[in-house]
Amino acid sequence: MITALGLAELKLLVRNRTAAALAFAMPLLFGAFFALSFGDEGWTFAITLQVLSTLGFTVYVTITTSLTSRRQDLYLKRLRTGAASDAVVLTGVVLPAVLLGLVQAVLLVGVSVAAGAQFPSRPDLLALALVGGAAMSCAAGVATSGVTSTAELAQITTGPFFFALLGGGIWAMSSDDIRALLVPGGGVADLVGAAWGGEGRPGWAALSLLAWTAVGCVLSARLFRWDARSQ
Amino acid sequence: MRNPVIDVAALRCRYGDFEAVRGVDLEVDQGELFALLGTNGAGKTTVMETLEGLRAPSAGRVRVLGVDPHRDRAAIRARTGIMLQESGFPAELTVAEMTRLWRPGDHREALDRLDLGHRRDVRIKQLSGGERRRLDLVLAVLGRPELLFLDEPTTGLDPESRQRTWEVVRELLAEGTTVVLTTHYLEEAESLAHRLAILHEGVVAVSGALVDVLAAQPARISFDLPDRLDVRSLPILTGDVVHEPSGRVDVRTRNLQDDLETLLAWARRDGHALVRLRAHHASLEDVFHAARAGRQVVAA
């Protein structure tokens, strides 16, 4: 059932040209831009930005927007009347964005490596950054959709977390201040840096991702709504 | 011992400060069609969504197929079919993709049954309103549910599609499915329902078996009072006689046959023509208007 829902969601994404362009092309364009602009100065910086923008655009913004518009269309309400449980419905609807984000991130890192970046010395930490970052962005997207009444409003409501993601990442890259790990994005940047041999604090960084994911889940449980009309 | 499919006692539902449902009791037996009627805003859809498990009641006891439908939704989800009053489709999926998403399989027969077979490969955004409503019904009955909720299933349908919908509902009833229906078309409820409840401002104003509810309301005889006649010259009838300003006489009686006989015998003897004479037992519409006017009718 999750597969069927996920495939349907992927079809909807592909058949909606604007959403598809945003989800497919935007992160790749940004990724290429980061590689060209910052590649020579330091590949870690470029790759971190690539990973963060993919998590931000493809996972976080796409999930917020699609859950909001599916709720607005009363499609989420319909799915609740079917045979699948709430958890299965939600997983099915968000899964394509999560998988797409992971594939794009891996693709961009691959492009950077092909363009001259080194292969990561600790690929396990890169994998942790991607999976943990995707989980955090996904939980944040579900929660944000709860306070977003229309798909157009998502452009505004996604702002704070999106910039916290990029800003936290840039902070963590540019200073040793451990407080950067308190911001979403700090943990991802720290783990990506450590994957390429940087000092890093992988333990604390992983904890930061876990904590932000937990916050996202708690807020989702409180804020997420299935029906556009009620309450 | 009776074992109702739906058992509701003292149900209350609140939206913030507004209490939409204010103490409703309902019982629905296995295999019957139960109609939930009422004006807009009477609380029908709120009751339906509570029974469907989509919303938690503010107070009261709700049992559907033996369990709390909100807390144990997993236990009844596969056994119920739900057609919401309003719900969306993903516009960019085709009809066949939507039915496959709902339940694996081909579903050609189910689509044909509601005249959608030829629209299988059409995207949902290209369907007419009536076609969407029929697709709604196809999805609700796809899993051959034991209990089916239909919230205004025929609103916006043309007469032919409405007939087709009724046929499908009758087939399901014949197979033993229990159906809870809300509708604004009283003749629909009158032709399909075994039992019914009329909600008014969040409470049950009328409930009972259709035949009992209809029998509890007086029958009516009406005609134009012949010229130059005074209403006092009419024969003595058992029912209440009202002479309306329009000149029409309206008799509400529990003895339709006797009163009609008296009236016709009088007219024949004295040579009066009773223009636009009508005599009929109470219709659901009469019951509905009485309920709205605040007259409580509770049949056994």
| Tens digit of each residue's pLDDT (9 = 90 or more) over B135-146 | 999 999 998 899
Residue B244 to residues B225, B249, B250, B253, Cα–Cα distance (Å):
10, 6, 7, 16
Alpha carbons within 13 A on the beta-carbon side of B111 = 20
| Helix (H) / strand (E) containing A166 | helix A159-174
In a domain, A229, yes or no: no
In a domain, A68, yes or no: yes
Instruction: Determine the pLDDT at residue B106.
Output: 85
Residue A136 to residues A63, A92, A209, Cα–Cα distance (Å):
12, 17, 6
Taking 50 as the threshold, does the pLDDT of residue B299 lie above it?
Answer: no
In a domain, A153, yes or no: yes
- Give the rounded percent of residues in chain A with a pLDDT score beyond 90: 66
For residues B211 and B63, is the Cβ–Cβ distance under 8 A? Answer: no
Beta carbons of A4 and B101 less than 8 Å apart = yes
For residues B281 and B218, is the Cβ–Cβ distance under 8 A? Answer: no
Instruction: Determine the pLDDT at residue A208.
Output: 96
Alpha-carbon span B134 to A138, nearest angstrom: 35
Instruction: Determine the pLDDT at residue B165.
Output: 92
Minimal Cα–Cα distance from A19 to chain B, Å? 13
Instruction: Determine the pLDDT at residue B295.
Output: 52
Q: Read off the pTM.
A: 0.86
Beta carbons of A75 and B88 less than 8 Å apart = yes
The first and second tokens of residue A205, run together, are 């960084």
In a domain, A230, yes or no: no
Alpha-carbon span B165 to A120, nearest angstrom: 63
B17 exposure class (CB count in 10 Å sphere: 0-12, 13-18, 19+): exposed
Q: Name the pLDDT band for B294 (thresholds 50, 70, 90).
A: low
Minimal Cα–Cα distance from B166 to chain A, Å? 22
Q: Look at residues B222, B284, B233, B295 and name the one whose alpha carbon lies nearest to residue B259.
A: B222
What are the structural domains, with CATH classification, of chain B? 6-214 (3.40.50.300), 218-281 (3.30.70)
Taking 70 as the threshold, does the pLDDT of residue B296 lie above it?
Answer: no
Alpha carbons within 13 A on the beta-carbon side of A39 = 18
Residue type present at position B112: D
Alpha-carbon span A212 to A91, nearest angstrom: 19
| A1–B contact, CB cutoff 8 A | no
| Chain A neighbors of B74, CB-CB under 8 A | 85
Domain of A163, in residue numbers? 2-223
Beta carbons of A75 and B74 less than 8 Å apart = no
In a domain, A79, yes or no: yes
Q: Look at residues B69, B281, B285 and name the one whose alpha carbon lies nearest to residue B198.
A: B285
In a domain, A231, yes or no: no
Alpha-carbon span A153 to A174, nearest angstrom: 32
Taking 60 as the threshold, does the pLDDT of residue A160 lie above it?
Answer: yes
Alpha-carbon span A44 to A190, nearest angstrom: 10
Number of domains in chain A: 1
